[in-house]
Amino acid sequence: MSRKKRRRKILHAIKRTIISVIALCFVAILINLAPNYEKNYLDGKINLIINNNNITKSLKTDILVENNELYLSFDDVKNFFDEYLLVDDGKIILTSNTKTVSIPLNGDKVFENGSYTINNYKILKKENVYYLPIEKLGSIYNYEYDYNEKNKIVTIDSLNRKVVTAISSKKTDVKYKPTAFSKTVDKIKRGETVYIVQNTEKNEDEKIGKWIKIRTSDGVIGYIKESKLINKVAIRENLEKEKIDGKVSMVWDYYNQYNAAPTRTEEIKGVNVISPSFFELKSDGSLAVNVGTSGENYIKWAKEKGLEIWPVLSNSMLNNLDAVSNILKTFESRANLIDNIISELVKIEVDGIHVDFENMYKEDKNNYSRFIIELAPRLREIGMHLSVLLTAPDGSDTWSLCYDRNLIGKVADYVVFMGYDENTASSKTAGTVSGANWVELNIKKFLGQEGIEKNKIILAMPFYTRLWQEKDGVLTSRVVNMKDIEIPEYAKRTWDDNLKQTYIEYTIDDSIYKMWIEDEKSISEKLDLVNKYELAGAGFWEKDREKDIIWDIVEEKLK
């Protein structure tokens, strides 16, 4: 073979190799751009799209069809709509944003937000699994439902979420992924309306480069070029409950059931929420209401001063753990109490409620949580706030371990950490009522150990302290209001930088007196913790125990 022919042969071989390499590279690029196309819609199964997310593969049980109605399993309803869904004593208890509903497993009456209606929620039971009707649940969980029988796609859109639509300017393919090489999952015609998928975290359209994620009218989700859409419009915006503007600054106005609400005319500087003692729990689950003419005047004063009013509901008058346990035990008894609460709140036209249940059995923790779970939707329905008092974690059974703080923190608008009574009359040694180091330690527990969001935590602080007396080996103490603290000239004073308080000690006759002082400096230090940990705000126990200068500090620190 001549040298010229050999050279030509070699060049052809090189050319074929180059072409093969280019082809392989092209195939690799295609594989990379459209990797392992995974079919989005599972053959033979009804697909479920919730707020533009196909969650079919995450279902624990396939959607059930019976008599042309579609059903979702109990566990799937709990997973996607209602984490507090409960089967209890022959009924299923559901709670949504604004509804508390009890559906009997065998019965003709449904209890919904304080009234009974005819039961049209047929509950099925197959192989020991309960199933609930998907379409009918929409009235409880506030969603729109649609079923495309041809494509076997159920779409559910929450009515409190943003919805954006647009119109296709031309016929186009809908792609599984944002690339022209991806599988076509649907086709849309010119003039067809599509739903634009929203990135809920950023509250904007979900886009990748020039591609935008959409849902077709048939429920199919995929990507098209954004340039092929016109007339984009938001047909519904996110609906969120209004919260207090800025930090909560809350003061309790306590008076017992044998006294009338105080007469107030003054402005309380730096405060935006007032909490009077209007309600006490009675042993039959009803309320002892202490409003009257004085309370009506009090409400009028608070509104004129621009204050929100969250009356206290307390169990302190009852002082009976068994009675509280009986009230919390069943759905019916809890519902009765909740109906009473809602009725009274609507009657006096206030802005919310502060629930202060203390000293309960540890065994009642779940039932107390259910009370809060079932109360919250009823309050949201009438636009009122829910604040719940919680003691410091890791204490005694009836004082600290009777609360599920994490769950209550999820459900309530605000939780109030009672940042006082670190030492009480029953303490074996003298100590502070509210040391800054103890307060900070428990703030960290609320945030970490208990997993409560910082913008829900209100730090409550005391306008009082204790004067301790030690005589002949016996320790006693009494409460001293901040405004009434008197320090003898001969008392020894020491600033405790851990407690952020002034400690005093003095002797009279054979008695040693000790006090950890609450004043403008100690309160200022606690307010600094509110800002340091970016908490929702502060609360103060209680009005008329303070020094006037305190309100200047509150206004300055909480802005």
Would you place residue 238 in the very low, low, confident or very high pLDDT band (cuts 50, 70, 90)? confident
Find out whether 459 and 538 touch, Cβ atoms under 8 Å: yes
Report residue 108 as tokens: 């003709």
Is the pLDDT score of 291 beyond 60? yes
As given in the structure block, the two tokens for residue 540 are 């103060």
Check whether 8 has a pLDDT greater than 50: yes
What pLDDT does residue 25 have? 56
Confidence of residue 257 (pLDDT cuts 50, 70, 90): confident
pLDDT of amino acid 199: 87
pLDDT over 90 (residue 218): no
- DSSP assignment string, 265-333: -S--TT--EEEE--EEE-TTS-EEE--HHHHHHHHHHHHHTT-EE--EEE-TTT--HHHHHHHHHSHHH
* Number of other residues whose CB lies within 10 A of the CB of residue 538: 27
Given a cut of 80, whether residue 62 has pLDDT beyond it is: yes
Asked if residue 190 lies in contact with residue 169, where contact means CB atoms within 8 angstroms, the answer is yes
pLDDT at 35: 46
Three-class SS state of 340: helix
Tokens describing residue 392: 């410091």
Q: What is the mean pLDDT of residues 105-109?
A: 91
Q: Which residues contact 244 (CB under 8 A, 6 or more apart)?
A: 272, 273, 308, 385, 536, 537
Of 149, 182, 95, 129, nearest to 369 by C-alpha is 95
Taking the CB of residue 67, how many other CB atoms lie within 10 A of it?
A: 6
More confident residue, 1 or 278: 278
Number of other residues whose CB lies within 10 A of the CB of residue 139 = 15
Two domains, one topology: 161-236 and 248-463+519-558: no
Cα dihedral 451/554/421/320 (nearest 10): -80
Predicted local confidence at residue 201, as pLDDT? 79
Instruction: Compute the residue count for the chain.
Output: 559
pLDDT at 33 exceeding the cut of 60: no
* Mean pLDDT to the nearest integer, 58-71: 95
**In whole angstroms, what is the distance from residue 369 CA to residue 346 CA?**
23
| Percentage of the chain lying above the pLDDT 90 cut | 83
Question: Strands 248-253 and 537-541, how do they pair?
Answer: parallel
Structure tokens at 495: 């600033």
Q: pLDDT tens digit string along 388-423?
A: 999 999 889 999 999 999 999 999 999 999 999 999
From 21, 69, 72, 22, select the one nearest 48 (Cα to Cα).
Answer: 72
Sign of CA dihedral 446, 452, 454, 459: negative
Report residue 286 as tokens: 């009803």
pLDDT at 442: 98
Residue 86 DSSP symbol: E
Q: With a cut of 50, say whether residue 526 has pLDDT above it.
A: yes
Mean pLDDT confidence for 43-51: 89
Give 256's contacts (C-beta < 8 A, 6+ positions apart): 277, 317
Decide: 418 and 392 in contact? Cβ < 8 Å.
yes
Characterize the bridge pairing of strands 537-541 and 457-462. parallel
CA nearest to 357, candidates 403, 425, 414: 403
Mean pLDDT of 485-510: 97
**What is each CA distance from 552 to 113, 254, 268, 366, 556, in whole angstroms?**
43, 22, 10, 41, 6
Domain 47-148: assigned CATH number = 3.30.457.10
pLDDT of residue 313: 98
Q: Band the pLDDT of 551: cuts 50, 70, 90.
A: very high
pLDDT at residue 121, as a whole number: 94
Is residue 127 pLDDT above 60, yes or no?
A: yes
Query: How far, CA to CA in Å, does 288 sit from each of 283, 315, 436?
Result: 10, 10, 36
pLDDT over 90 at 28, yes or no: no
* Euclidean distance between CA atoms 519 and 497, whole angstroms: 15
Write the pLDDT tens digit of every residue in 330-350.
999 999 999 999 999 999 999
As a CATH number, domain 248-463+519-558 is 3.20.20.80
CA distance 334 to 336: 5
CA torsion through residues 33, 36, 41, 47, sign: negative
| pLDDT for the residue numbered 14 | 63
Q: At 107, is the secondary structure helix, strand, or coil?
A: coil
Distance between CA atoms of 6 and 18, rounded to whole angstroms? 18
Q: Where are the domains of the chain?
A: 47-148, 161-236, 248-463+519-558
Per-residue pLDDT, averaged over 362-381, amounts to 97
138, 130, 22: which is closest to 76 by C-alpha?
130
The CATH class, in words, for 161-236 is: mainly beta
Residue whose token pair is 């402005």: 267
Tokens of 456: 């829900």
Average the pLDDT over 98-127 and give the result.
94
Other residues' Cβ atoms within 10 Å of the Cβ of residue 558 = 18
130 vs 149: CA distance, rounded Å: 24
pLDDT at 258: 85
**pLDDT interval class at 519 (50, 70, 90):** very high
* Mean pLDDT of all residues belonging to the chain: 92
User: Where do we find the tokens 């306590």?
Assistant: 254
Confidence label for 492 from pLDDT (cuts 50, 70 and 90):
very high
Q: Give mean pLDDT, residues 446-451.
A: 98
State the pLDDT at residue 424. Answer: 95
